[in-house]
Amino acid sequence: MNARREWLKTTLALAAGLPLGAGMANQLMAAPMSEAEKNFFGRSPLLPPMKIRLGSNENPYGPSEKARQAIQQALSEGNRYPFQVVNDFKETLAAHEGVTADHILVGAGSGDLLCATGAAFSLEGGRILSGFPTFPMLMNYAEVFKTTWDKVNVNDELVYDYEAVAGQIKPDTRLVFICNPNNPTGTLVNPGVVKSFTEEVSKKVTVFSDEAYLEFLQPSQQVSMIDFVKKGANVIVSRTFSKIHGLAGLRIGYIVAKPDIIRKIQRNHPGIPNNQLAIAAAKASLGDKDFMDMSRRKNAEARKILTDYLDKKGYFYGKSHTNFVMFDSKSDAQGKLSQLAQQGIAIRVWDYKGMQWLRVSVGTSEEMKAFVKAFDQIA
Ligand SMILES: Cc1ncc(COP(=O)(O)O)c(C=O)c1O
């Protein structure tokens, strides 16, 4: 565990050009680890600094130029609490989403709000249902409060099985978590299916739609479940600035829901976790179409380098619509994780169906070429 903590501290500190506080590194420790990762980081000697970071689905091009300028300008407000700034930002987000500001809660990343939601719903006891594997933060946090997490496996193509999930709702299911495109599989379900599911299920149970990777789809494909919020349904939508906007290190995201749901979640959300710089950067990034288009395009190009390789070598992988790809490592995922880490390349390993899967985030094209080369030598 210590080796992993040091490794994360080193890589994050490198990213920021700063020494990293224990708080953030410890928070990352709460991120789910596969059995392979536990074994590896529990035993491994000190690792070299990670030169190629393909472990956390970050955007290698961020922050955008506009965000950087906004951060510079906001620095002089660093001595001021951001009370009014958060309120103004809620208004901006509300206008952007077509709702009123009491439908919005801003967090230190969307993960912060996933946890607050997990707490809010689990305090009532009962169960939370989701597909599996998926991004587990809300459910992991809810389990701390003794909620039961019911999981429904993705299908053979690693695609979230909405019909099967709907079939597993029980009388004491309090929340259903969906994620489209899904992490860690990267796969996408037709928005029509997700809409029908959300419409029907939200009549009985609150639906949480995690849309962290929505902007990696072409704009015409980006169908948010926010329309159901506007119709007064029991639906919560989370969005983040960590992915297409490239602001993962600044920690800012938001949820959209009916005001009574927002109040319920806010009761379990600490004070104001936002800061002046993150809000300024997010505001500048929100309408930055050029940066989003560039990130989406470069991501697709770099992702193809990886999937072309996987195709050539016959690896089975989920059809990715995101900035990561999950594939069956064929053998010894832990060994591959370890050998790549020794070369300064960070990836992740996920457990699913008694197997270990590799999840590789999409970096720049140069990084993907370097990954493919290094991976090919150890595969
Ligand atoms: C599906 C999904 N939701 C939420 C998050 C949390 O991101 P953040 O807290 O940076 O907004 C992640 C991070 O990887 C994610 O993959």
- Where among 286, 321, 347 does a domain terminate? 286
pLDDT in tens, 101-146: 999 999 999 999 999 999 999 998 999 999 999 999 999 999 998 8
- For the chain, what is the radius of gyration of the CA atoms? 20
Last residue within a domain, chosen from 286, 305, 334 = 286
Judge whether 158 and 359 are in contact, CB under 8 Å.
no
- 242 and 109 inside one domain: yes
Average pLDDT over residues 29-50: 69
Q: Which two tokens stand for residue 239?
A: 């969005």
Instruction: For residue 211, report the distance from its CA to the centre of ligand 1, in Å.
Output: 9
Domain of residue 88, CATH code = 3.40.640.10
Same structural domain, 334 and 273: no
Mean pLDDT of 93-107: 98
Taken as a whole, the chain contains a residue count of: 379
Average pLDDT of 20-32? 38
Average pLDDT score, the chain: 91
Co-location of 38 and 174 in the same domain? no
Q: How far is the CA of 377 from the centre of ligand 1 (A)?
A: 31
Q: What is the pLDDT of residue 351?
A: 87
Pocket test for ligand 1, best of 28, 110, 274, 324 (most atoms within 8 A of CB): 110
Cβ contact 322:213 at 8 Å? yes
End residue of a domain, out of 239, 271, 286: 286
- Does residue 39 share a domain with residue 72? no
* pLDDT value for 25: 34
Give the mean model confidence (pLDDT) for residues 58-82: 98
The domain total for the chain is 2
Q: Which of 24, 243, 244, 251 to mutate to test the pocket of ligand 1 (most atoms within 8 A of CB)?
A: 243
- Among residues 276, 323, 344, 277, the alpha carbon closest in space to that of 60 is found at 323
Q: Which ligand 1 atom sits nearest the alpha carbon of residue 248?
A: 10
**pLDDT at res. 282:** 98
Give me the pLDDT at residue 38, please. Answer: 77
Reported as a pLDDT band with limits 50, 70 and 90, residue 272 is confident
The pocket around ligand 1, CB under 6 angstroms, is made up of 57, 109-111, 135, 179, 183, 210, 212, 240, 242, 248, 253
Do 32 and 82 belong to one domain? no
Report the pLDDT value the prediction gives residue 8, as an integer from 0 to 100: 42
Q: What is the distance between the alpha carbons of residues 58 and 363, in angstroms, rounded to a whole number? A: 8
Tokens read off for 250 = 């600044």
Residue ranges making up the domain that contains 53: 2-63+290-378
* Interval between CA 213 and ligand 1 midpoint (Å): 9
Q: pLDDT at residue 11 above 60?
A: no
d(CA 314, CA 322): 21
Q: Report percent pLDDT > 70 for the chain.
A: 90
Atom of ligand 1 nearest to the CA of 182: 1
Same domain, residue pair 265 and 126 = yes
Ligand 1 atom with the smallest distance to the CA of 184 is: 16
My answer on whether 131 and 225 are in the same domain is: yes
Let me know whether 234 and 342 are in one domain.
no
User: Does residue 4 register a pLDDT over 60?
Assistant: no
Report how far apart, in Å, the C-alpha atoms of 276 and of each of 85, 108, 113, 130, 302 are.
Answer: 7, 12, 18, 34, 33
What CA–CA distance (Å, rounded) separates 199 from 207?
A: 9
Residues 312 and 240 both lie in one domain: no
Torsion of CA 17, 22, 28, 30, to 10 degrees: 180
Residues 256, 204, single domain; the answer is: yes
Beta pairing class for 355-361 and 324-328: antiparallel
Q: Which of 12, 183, 239 to mutate to test the pocket of ligand 1 (most atoms within 8 A of CB)?
A: 183
Note the pLDDT tens digit of each residue in 202-259. 999 999 999 999 999 999 999 999 999 999 999 999 999 999 999 999 999 999 999 9
Whether residues 36 and 94 share a domain: the answer is no
Q: Report how far ligand 1's centroid is from the alpha carbon of 120 (Å).
A: 19
* 114 and 250 inside one domain: yes
Tell me, what CATH number does 296's domain have? 3.90.1150.10
pLDDT in the model for residue 42: 67
Poorest-pLDDT segment among 23-32, 118-127, 272-281: 23-32
Residue 287 pLDDT grade (very low, low, confident, very high; cuts 50, 70, 90)? confident
Mean pLDDT, range 70-89, rounded to an integer: 97
State residue 28's pLDDT score.
Answer: 35
